[in-house]
Structure 1
Amino acid sequence: MNPRQLAGRFIYRAYHAPVGAVQKFFSAGGPFEQRRTEQGRTAMEAAAHHLPLLPTPSDSAPVTLHLLTGRRYWYQTAFCLWSFAHAAQRPLAPVLLDDGTLTPEFSDPILRLFPATTILTSAEIEARLDAALPEKNFPSLRQRRREFPLLRKLTDPHAGLIGWRLLIDSDLLFFRRPDALLAWLDHPTQPLRAEDLANAYGYPLALLAEVAGQPVPERVNTGLLGLRSDDINWSRFEYACHTLLARGGPQYYQEQALAAVLLAGRTCTVPPPADYVLCPKPPESHACRAVMHHYVADSKRWYFQTNWRRFTSPTK
């Protein structure tokens, strides 16, 4: 690790991490609300074991969604997939990317709901990465993937494979038919990506443009990311990862920065703002009028306290 990387890590641990923890405490509503949120999270995990089986439409092709999941997130994955299937009225054939903790205890409840699920174990993924991205040729990508699990959203679904794939985060809930996503899934012709509230890259746009060789798209969010695996130039990706680490140190949002570099100069499908609501706040966090919510940051309280319950109560 070079001096810039060491300095970046020290600043993060000494300043950004504690400041972020204090901000998170207050944005989450204080101790009472945090306790309610944790109680809701526990109840959501228990309820995921009892989600009802959905009727399987026989007149439409199955939809394949890719999700990175494991012990900490399996129940969110279950609710995400269930709400998508319920809203879309399409059969699902999900692909779960094991983060190394997806034992049968956590995968079986999802397989009960969606028997056509494919599970790519962490050993299978590692073997594919060793073949497609050997460490001697891709040292920055492989090391950063070990240190920074979010980078797996870019490497694990795509390295060594061909064809289009849509990776979605598990902390999404779907309330209306996701027509934009279904249209893309049925006939993908260009990348798809979500829109962030602001640029969350951790690196200056000028540096990203220098690495990409052209301006990068702004406000890329990887909560929804549809790419064609064989379009990715992994040598360029290694260069980008190495250069960002050398010039700007490790950053929490590095996978979004790398996604922006990857999408530079590309026309992308972006779900309409009325469809995809990132970090919903009142009144939308209560009304749920959008097609989907992505519950990040302080919106987790609405996710865990109330909104998953909409899929377990027949009156909602």
Structure 2
Amino acid sequence: MSTLIRKLKLGRLFYLLYHRPIEWLNALVAAGGPFEQRRTERGKMQMELAASQLPVLPTGTGPAIELHLLTGRKFWYQTAFCLWSFARQAGRPLHPVIYDDGTLESVHRDALSRLFPSTQFIAQREAIARLDQWLPADRFPVLRERWQNYPNIRKLIDPHIGSQGWKLVIDSDLLFFRRPDLILSWCDQPERPLHAVDCETSYGYTRNLMNELAGTPVADLVNVGLTGLESSSLDWEKLEHWCSVLITRERTNYYLEQALIAMLTAGRACTIAPAADYVTLPIEPEASDCRAVMHHYVAGSKRHYFQQNWRRLLTDRTAGA
């Protein structure tokens, strides 16, 4: 265990001294340079203001769709636009379950509740209480350490720990431009895991090690922007073991959560959101045309997201098309 602790600490130091500066430079290039980056930052501030003024949608008809999201003070407005665009296109009642990363304030909760009165907020203290009950630190030290220092893994842990049934966890940086029929059908009758398709395979760990741990070849291009899993099917001792081995042999990695989902779904029949309709990292002309059902704005597509495409939702007349 001491070796693993050292690995975690060294991994964090390596990230801060090496990967973080590289990420900053790559982000600047992806943003189109300093001028475009400033435009994007202005768009981000305008998007946050607009989120607090979004019109309340008609309730919709049919059974409510339950969506699970992790968010906080820095992302609440993206969560608002994601849910609002989904509800507008789906035409169904929405029951969001929002996991607070510890930074949500009452003003953010009020803004989200105004749009979706049935929103259920899971406070961080409640999440920690669940962890203490179901993932005690003495038995699951790696998962607990990663939960504390790697927020992405909370999207895998918090919705499912100590729970049953199927749940769809989605990222906040999604916008919906057409009716998400595949998601609606899955939510109405989930029978197998669901995931999105990435623009490139990004797991952060060697395929040989992932295949060895999973016991079967891991598929390419698994993306966790949309992730549907059955809570009771998750083996937490196995996940603890996987994390321990991955980190001990190959250090910590930003894509650990995605690697774990790819391993969990390896060899299983899955519902896969078609890449042409559920687009991860939209590029031109799609980035401007918005003909797909959904965009997931990762990496270099952020400027389309913050500068223009959230605005498009406010004038778009194709709801439910």
TM above 0.5, yes or no, is: yes
Question: For 1:25, which of 19, 28, 37 is the aligned residue?
Answer: 28
What per-residue deviation string (whole Å, max 9, x for no partner) do you get for residues 197-218 of structure 1? 1221110010001111221122
AA matched with 1:240: W
- SS in structure 2 of the partner of residue 256 of structure 1: helix
Contact 1:5 1:248 in 2 (8 A): no
Q: Relative to structure 2, which stretch is displaced further, 86-95 or 259-268?
A: 259-268
Contact 1:161 1:229 in 2 (8 A): yes
Contact 1:67 1:169 in 2 (8 A): yes
1:80 and 2:77 correspond: no
- SS in structure 2 of the partner of residue 71 of structure 1: coil
Return the TM-score normalized by structure 2.
Answer: 0.95
Could you tell me which residue of structure 2 aligns to residue 233 of structure 1? 235
Return the TM-score normalized by structure 1.
Answer: 0.96
- SS in structure 1 of the partner of residue 263 of structure 2: helix
Could you tell me which residue of structure 2 aligns to residue 146 of structure 1? 148
Alignment of 1:146-165 (within 5 A): 146-165=148-167
Query: Per the alignment, do residues 217 and 113 of structure 1 end up closer, same or farther by CA in structure 2, a change over 3 Å counting?
Result: same
- SS in structure 1 of the partner of residue 43 of structure 2: helix
Q: Relative to structure 2, which stretch is displaced further, 306-315 or 124-133?
A: 306-315
Q: Relative to structure 2, which stretch is displaced further, 4-13 or 241-250?
A: 4-13
Number of equivalenced pairs: 315
1:40 and 2:47 correspond: no
1:96 and 2:106 correspond: no
| TM-aligned CA deviation for residue 312 of structure 1 | 2.2
What per-residue deviation string (whole Å, max 9, x for no partner) do you get for residues 286-314 of structure 1? 00000000001111100000000122236
| TM-aligned CA deviation for residue 9 of structure 1 | 3.8
Could you tell me which residue of structure 1 aligns to residue 107 of structure 2? 105
Could you tell me which residue of structure 1 aligns to residue 126 of structure 2? 124
What per-residue deviation string (whole Å, max 9, x for no partner) do you get for residues 68-124 of structure 1? 011111000000000000011111011101111122111111100110111111111
1:220 and 2:188 correspond: no
Could you tell me which residue of structure 2 aligns to residue 275 of structure 1? 277
1:208 and 2:179 correspond: no
CA-based RMSD of the aligned residues comes to: 1.4
Contact 1:83 1:174 in 2 (8 A): yes
| TM-aligned CA deviation for residue 315 of structure 1 | 6.7
Contact 2:210 2:218 in 1 (8 A): yes
Q: Distance in 1 between matches of 2:8 and 2:161?
A: 26
- SS in structure 2 of the partner of residue 223 of structure 1: strand
AA matched with 1:32: F
Q: Relative to structure 2, which stretch is displaced further, 194-203 or 36-45?
A: 194-203
AA matched with 2:185: A
Q: Distance in 1 between matches of 2:121 and 2:8?
A: 35
AA matched with 1:273: A
- SS in structure 1 of the partner of residue 315 of structure 2: coil
Q: Distance in 2 between matches of 1:6 and 1:110?
A: 37
AA matched with 1:237: L
- SS in structure 1 of the partner of residue 229 of structure 2: strand
